[in-house]
Amino acid sequence: MANLNSLTYEGISDSYRALGDYCAAITPLESWISINPDRNDTPVVRGIIKNYATQGKCTSTYATGSDRFPTQGKNVIVAKVSINDVSGNFIVDTGAGFVSVTKAFASRANLQVDSANDILLQTANGVS
């Protein structure tokens, strides 16, 4: 991701803005900042984020935060995550394009599930 320039992140952000999803438009900008905060965390970018947060009435913690995940000598990083106050163990995949959960977890966490549009995901262990 560090090889992509700011225009890539701005373009993704602009796409969400054009859809009226101002809160989602913040995420690519926060990702851009996280790559190199010393260079990318500028007043201009912070101003855009603040503007989007206001327009989208986003929570003050939207797309913020940080954490460290020790590998504990394993090849897989597992993080305990809470969604809607429901905890679960998640595998951290920094290159993943999607986050997937089981139907059982989605039900417990009151996540909206569209079972008519199930998708197959290619994982390191095959199709799931």
The mean pLDDT values, 10 residues at a time, for the chain of 128 residues are 73 94 90 85 92 88 65 76 88 75 88 74 75
For residue 121, what are its two tokens? 């995901």
pLDDT at 38: 87
Residue 51 is assigned to a structural domain of this protein: yes
What's the whole-model pTM score?
Answer: 0.50
pLDDT at 3: 57
Mapped onto helix, strand or coil, the DSSP state of residue 87 is: strand
What range defines the domain where residue 88 resides?
77-127
**Same domain, yes or no, for 123 and 82?**
yes
Residue 67 is assigned to a structural domain of this protein: no
pLDDT at 120: 75
Residue 10 is assigned to a structural domain of this protein: yes
**Same domain, yes or no, for 52 and 11?**
yes
How far is it, in rounded angstroms, from Cα 21 to Cα 12? 12
Residue 62 is assigned to a structural domain of this protein: no
pLDDT at 12: 93
How far is it, in rounded angstroms, from Cα 10 to Cα 16? 10
Q: Structurally, how many domains does the chain consist of?
A: 2
**Same domain, yes or no, for 52 and 85?**
no
